[in-house]
């Protein structure tokens, strides 16, 4: 199996607070891998390091066998373009309608308006949306906002999609629709998918592999079945926490 990304000995601290303490993880081309763990363990910090929004203290991120961490200028930008992200709250621009939100990156890339006019409805259709171009983000549901955020990311033809807590804050029906979309994107475009989540049920449904982050280290890496059968006490506790909603509340 070909490695798409290699995370090597990644360390990141904020002052005294050591968040990542030597993360090593190879991510295979075309897989769906979920990174799970409690709130505040550093899942979003991994995501930000992966896409170059944050630099690690030490360690490297290798993408397609190229060192992203040490790259700069045009090279950095070229590698960063391989990533698409669906941020936690979809992060749409509130003052732009849906059309302009989806068109945003295409316009930055100086695509023709005639191309954009054709492309935006196609992208919306891929995420199951129609005829909402003139609506504002505040006029559509949270689940629809996530779809629009995904359409906006897909517009840039990413090779790797990162999803930060895609099912957090949406009802279970929307959550399972989001799961299906992640699977669809993965299948249709062979996009390598990294899902950051504390929603184990969702991780079980969609993942080829699950990695568990705990106190700065990856303490588990394996298939959903291996995860379910693990006797590790931290994993058992985390799984049991699913039954206790107070353990899962994430305030963001």
Nearer to ligand ADP, 16 or 131 (CB): 16
What minimum distance in Å lies between the beta carbon of 250 and ligand ADP? Answer: 7
The one segment of 44-52, 128-136, 173-181, 233-241 that binds Mg ion by CB under 5 A: 44-52
Q: State the alpha helices, DSSP H only, in the chain.
A: 43-50, 73-80, 98-108, 113-126, 142-154, 172-189, 200-206, 224-228, 233-240, 245-248
Q: Which is nearer to ligand ADP, 13 or 240 (CB)?
A: 13
Query: What's the rounded Cα separation, in Å, for the pair 231 and 228?
Result: 9
Choice between 17 and 108, CB closer to ligand ADP = 17
From the list ligand ADP, Mg ion, none, pick the one residue 39 interacts with, judged by a Cβ distance below 5 to 8 Å according to partner type. Answer: ligand ADP
44 lies in the binding site for Mg ion (CB under 5 A) = yes
CA distance 117 to 105: 13
Tally of CB atoms within 10 A around 173: 9
CA distances (Å), 247 to each of 43, 237, 242, in order?
Answer: 17, 10, 7
The entry of ligand ADP, Mg ion, none near residue 3 (CB within 5 to 8 angstroms by kind) is: none
Separation of CA 107 from chain center: 23
Which residues contact ligand ADP by CB under 6 A?
14, 17, 19, 37, 39-45
**Comparison of 43 and 119: residue with beta carbon closer to ligand ADP:** 43
Q: Answer with the entry of ligand ADP, Mg ion, none that 19 interacts with (C-beta below 5 to 8 A by kind).
A: ligand ADP
Q: Which two tokens stand for residue 209?
A: 């592999």
The listed partner (ligand ADP, Mg ion, none) that binds 40, CB under 5 to 8 Å by sort, is ligand ADP
Residue pair 23/59 in contact by the 8 Å Cβ criterion:
yes
Between CA 175 and CA 216 the distance in angstroms is 28
Please state, in angstroms and rounded to a whole number, the distance separating the CA atoms of residues 115 and 122. 11
The one of ligand ADP, Mg ion, none whose footprint includes residue 41, by CB under 5 to 8 A per kind, is ligand ADP
Question: Which region among 41-49, 94-102, 186-194, 240-248 touches Mg ion (by CB under 5 A)?
Answer: 41-49
Choice between 45 and 203, CB closer to ligand ADP:
45
Of 4 and 43, which has the nearer Cβ to Mg ion? 43
Given ligand ADP, Mg ion, none, residue 45, with its beta carbon under 5 to 8 Å by kind, binds ligand ADP
The candidate with the shortest Cα–Cα distance to 144, out of 160, 133, 155, is 133
Residues that bind Mg ion (CB under 5 A): 43-44
């Amino acid at each position: 199996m070909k490695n798409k990304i290699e995370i090597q000995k990644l360390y990141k601290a904020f002052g005294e607070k050591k968040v990542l303490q030597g993360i090593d993880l190879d991510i295979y081309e075309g897989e769906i891998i979920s990174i799970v763990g409690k709130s505040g363990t550093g899942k979003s910090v991994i995501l930000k390091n992966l896409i170059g929004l944050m630099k690690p203290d030490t360690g490297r991120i290798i993408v397609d066998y190229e060192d992203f961490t040490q790259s700069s200028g045009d090279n950095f930008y070229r590698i960063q373009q391989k990533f698409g992200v669906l941020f936690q709250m979809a992060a749409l621009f509130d003052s732009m309608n849906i059309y302009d939100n989806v068109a945003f990156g295409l316009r930055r890339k100086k695509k023709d308006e005639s191309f954009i006019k054709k492309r935006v409805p196609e992208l919306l259709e891929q995420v199951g949306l129609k005829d909402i171009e003139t609506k504002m983000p505040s006029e559509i549901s949270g689940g629809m906002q996530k779809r629009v955020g995904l359409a906006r990311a897909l517009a840039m033809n990413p090779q790797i999609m990162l999803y930060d807590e895609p099912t957090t804050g949406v009802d279970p029906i929307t959550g399972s629709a989001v799961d299906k979309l992640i699977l669809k994107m993965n299948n249709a475009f062979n996009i390598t998918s990294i899902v950051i989540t504390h929603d184990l049920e969702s991780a079980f449904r969609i993942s080829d592999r699950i990695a568990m982050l705990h106190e700065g280290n990856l303490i588990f890496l394996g298939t959903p079945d291996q995860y379910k059968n693990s006797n590790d006490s931290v994993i058992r506790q985390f799984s049991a926490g699913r039954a206790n909603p107070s353990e899962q509340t994430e305030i963001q």
